[in-house]
């Protein structure tokens, strides 16, 4: 089943039924990104077969989010951004598209920061050759897309801190665009401080121009994008469940208020 399959009444989450999970991807001109996202959604469906799972893109790829939401009609959906921090897409684009649709929607938090995201980052580094016991001259640059939004940068910094605590080495956030330091600048800064084994951790959901550009700046090893790692599928479901639980708690408080 793909995201473009027509939906039935059961799949669109009829009133009183299970709200659909709509995974909101950014979109990319790189065809590997779309195939990766679709494979990730298949992992989510395997973990929870009864849950209606849909895909919508902000731009560049079909289905676009407004079309996915239109296909749901008046059904319920939880929109989970396949994005790794707060920024314009999470704060404006997705809520605006949701508000313009006939579906009854709630927007979940982005995927990061969260320990499950760190699970995926650590696993990808290990696959790339990161040692079980790093030496004192080991360090990591956490490479992200970048944003002018300070909350987005704060989320990336928090993810870097969580990864540093997990690995026991310095982890410096760096960006492909719109923010500083760049990945090459972060690598140079760590090298100047005496770190001779600097890895680049790819904090991207799928292959693309930014991920390729950042990996090329690695002086040692660079991890693959997070892609279809099992922790990513679990994290999408966690954000979906978290949103429903938070919404339910707010409704119960409202009913209890005199």
Burial 196-233, CB ≥16 within 10 A → b, else e: ebbbbbbbbbbbbebbbebbebbbbbbbbbbbbbebbb
Is 26 catalytic? The answer is yes
Q: Collapsing DSSP states into helix, strand and coil, what is residue 254? A: helix
What angle is formed at CA 202 by the lines to CA 124 and CA 86, rounded to 5 degrees?
Answer: 120
Token look-up 């966690």 returns 238
Q: Measure the CA–CA gap between 60 and 127, rounded to whole angstroms.
A: 30
**Per-residue CA distances from 144 to 69, 161, 188, 228 (Å):** 28, 14, 17, 18
Q: Tokens at residue 182, please?
A: 């760049």
Question: Which is the catalytic residue, given 26, 89, 138, 238?
Answer: 26
157 burial type by CB count under 10 A (0-12 exposed, 13-18 middle, 19+ buried): middle
Residues designated as active site:
26
């Amino acid at each position: 089943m793909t995201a473009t399959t027509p939906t039935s009444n059961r799949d669109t989450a009829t009133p009183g039924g299970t709200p659909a999970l709509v995974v909101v991807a950014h979109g990319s001109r790189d065809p590997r990104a779309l195939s990766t996202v679709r494979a990730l959604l298949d992992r989510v469906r395997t973990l929870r077969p009864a849950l209606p799972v849909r895909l919508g893109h902000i731009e560049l790829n079909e289905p676009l989010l407004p079309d996915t939401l239109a296909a749901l009609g008046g059904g319920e959906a939880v929109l989970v951004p396949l994005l790794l921090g707060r920024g314009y897409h999470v704060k404006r684009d997705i809520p605006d598209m949701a508000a313009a649709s006939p579906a009854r929607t709630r927007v979940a938090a982005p995927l990061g920061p969260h320990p499950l995201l760190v699970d995926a980052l650590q696993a990808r580094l290990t696959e790339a050759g990161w040692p079980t016991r790093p030496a004192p001259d080991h360090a990591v640059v956490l490479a992200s897309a970048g944003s002018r939004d300070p909350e987005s940068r704060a989320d990336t910094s928090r993810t870097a801190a969580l990864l540093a605590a997990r690995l026991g080495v310095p982890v410096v956030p760096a960006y492909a665009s719109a923010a500083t330091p760049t990945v090459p600048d972060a690598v140079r800064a760590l090298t100047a401080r005496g770190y001779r084994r600097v890895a680049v951790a790819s904090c991207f959901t799928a292959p693309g121009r930014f991920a390729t550009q950042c990996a090329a700046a690695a002086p040692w090893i660079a991890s693959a994008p997070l892609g279809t790692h099992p922790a990513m599928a679990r994290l999408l479901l966690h954000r979906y469940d978290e949103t429903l639980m938070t919404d339910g708690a707010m409704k119960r408080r409202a009913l209890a208020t005199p």
